[in-house]
């Protein structure tokens, strides 16, 4: 994992002076209406970014900025973030998954502070207009089960990793990325994705940015849905139950301890914690939520999730 260091505006200015004088690539991403500007001298970062995100017009001023480079002055996988100017510096990264997650977290920071819009690190699907969120700590199985569910014709996908939530009743969930960054081993579990990943350009982590429309069709990738169900994946081998229906307080306590299943928050102060706690409490009050204990085979757990979704 990477380290996050909060800096002030004076430290930001010093880091700008360190940055390579020749910026080879500048890109603007449209992340749910937030303009995130990438500045990098690394070709592989620029190429992945352009495949991953919707582009924003060059005429739009950025709401937040990300500098991505290599430097022997800073540790590997180090982030320096100035919340006042929404400026992040990323040094010595070789994993695009973390870079794009920090971009999404930057957009989330803007939306939380200035627009009262919250984010969820997880997948979101739509079935006949009913949206379901699937979240879990790293390794809980959300990617495996999202792509398993996508084999069903009734299932449409809003997001596979991160989405934004706004509204009162109903809650609306909105997508964040143009194309998805997925693991090659998804095809080993679900052969339907074999051709898609066989032709993809895998990175050093065995992942690739792919256009899922090639497999499921363009009409099954949708920009938003009404959020009505909420599934939290866990792995607890000392618990025999697969489907658990806890109360709101128990679930909220679990989410707090897991940092709301999001290791990519850039700011974790008391104020931010209070915003997120209110949001997730509201979300639990307005959705039909379940904990799914992912201790059986993927096929067996898929059957249990399908029961919840009434597919």
Which bin fits 98, alpha (ψ -120 to 50), beta or left (φ > 0)?
alpha
Token duo for residue 296:
């059986």
Q: Over pLDDT 70: what percentage of the chain?
A: 100
pLDDT in tens, 72-119: 999 999 999 999 999 999 999 999 999 999 999 999 999 999 999 999
pLDDT in tens, 203-250: 988 999 999 999 899 999 999 999 999 999 999 999 999 999 999 999
What does pLDDT average to over the chain?
95
Is the model's pLDDT at 129 over the cut of 90? yes
Are 48 and 209 within 8 A, CB to CB? yes
- The dihedral sign for the CA sequence 38, 40, 43, 44: negative
- With vertex at residue 41, the alpha carbon angle to CA 100 and CA 81, rounded to the nearest 5 degrees, is 50
Q: Indicate the burial class of 106 (C-beta count within 10 angstroms; 0-12, 13-18, 19 or more).
A: buried
Are 36 and 103 within 8 A, CB to CB? yes
Is the model's pLDDT at 34 over the cut of 80? yes
Phi, psi of 97 (to 5 degrees): -55, -40
Pairing of strands 130-136, 243-244: unpaired
Token duo for residue 186:
């998804």
CATH number 3.40.449.10 given to 3-115? yes
For the chain, the 3-state helix, strand and coil shares in percent, each to the nearest 5, are: 35, 30, 35
The second-level CATH assignment, the architecture, of 119-309 is: Alpha-Beta Complex (3.90)
| Residue among 299, 291, 183, 288 at smallest CA distance from 235 | 291
- Indicate the domain borders of the chain: 3-115, 119-309
The predicted pLDDT at position 208 comes to 93
Q: Residue 134: beta bridge partners?
A: 123, 231
Is the model's pLDDT at 258 over the cut of 80? yes
pLDDT in tens, 285-295: 999 999 999 99
Is the model's pLDDT at 169 over the cut of 80? no
Phi, psi of 125 (to 5 degrees): -125, 165
The predicted pLDDT at position 301 comes to 96
CA distance 212 to 235: 28
Phi, psi of 177 (to 5 degrees): -130, 150
Q: Over pLDDT 90: what percentage of the chain?
A: 88
CA distance 243 to 295: 11
């Amino acid at each position: 994992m990477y380290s996050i260091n909060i800096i002030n505006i004076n430290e930001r200015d010093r880091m700008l002076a360190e940055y390579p004088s020749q910026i080879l690539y500048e890109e603007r991403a449209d992340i749910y209406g937030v303009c995130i500007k990438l500045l990098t001298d690394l070709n592989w970062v620029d190429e992945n970014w352009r495949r991953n995100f919707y582009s924003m017009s060059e005429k739009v001023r950025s709401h937040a900025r990300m500098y991505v480079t290599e430097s022997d002055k800073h540790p590997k996988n180090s982030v320096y973030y100035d919340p006042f100017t929404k400026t992040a510096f990323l040094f010595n990264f070789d994993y695009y998954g973390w870079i794009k997650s920090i971009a999404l977290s930057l957009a989330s920071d803007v939306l939380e502070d200035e627009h009262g819009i919250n984010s969820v690190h997880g997948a979101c699907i739509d079935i006949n207009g009913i949206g379901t969120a699937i979240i879990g700590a790293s390794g809980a199985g959300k990617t495996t089960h999202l792509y398993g569910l996508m084999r069903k014709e009734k299932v449409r996908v809003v997001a596979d990793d991160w989405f934004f939530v706004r509204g009162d009743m109903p809650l609306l969930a909105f997508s964040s990325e143009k194309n998805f960054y997925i693991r090659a081993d998804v095809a080993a579990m679900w052969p339907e994705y074999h051709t898609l990943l066989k032709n993809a350009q895998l990175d050093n982590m065995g992942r690739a940015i792919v256009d899922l429309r090639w497999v499921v069709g363009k009409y099954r990738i949708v920009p938003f849905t009404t959020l009505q169900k909420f599934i939290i994946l866990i792995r607890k081998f000392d618990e025999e139950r697969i489907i658990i229906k806890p109360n709101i307080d128990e679930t909220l306590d679990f989410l707090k301890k897991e940092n709301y299943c999001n290791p990519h928050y850039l700011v974790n102060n008391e104020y931010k914690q209070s915003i997120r706690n209110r949001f997730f409490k509201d979300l639990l009050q307005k959705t039909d939520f379940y904990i799914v204990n992912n201790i059986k085979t993927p096929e067996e757990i898929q059957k249990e999730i399908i029961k919840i979704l009434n597919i």
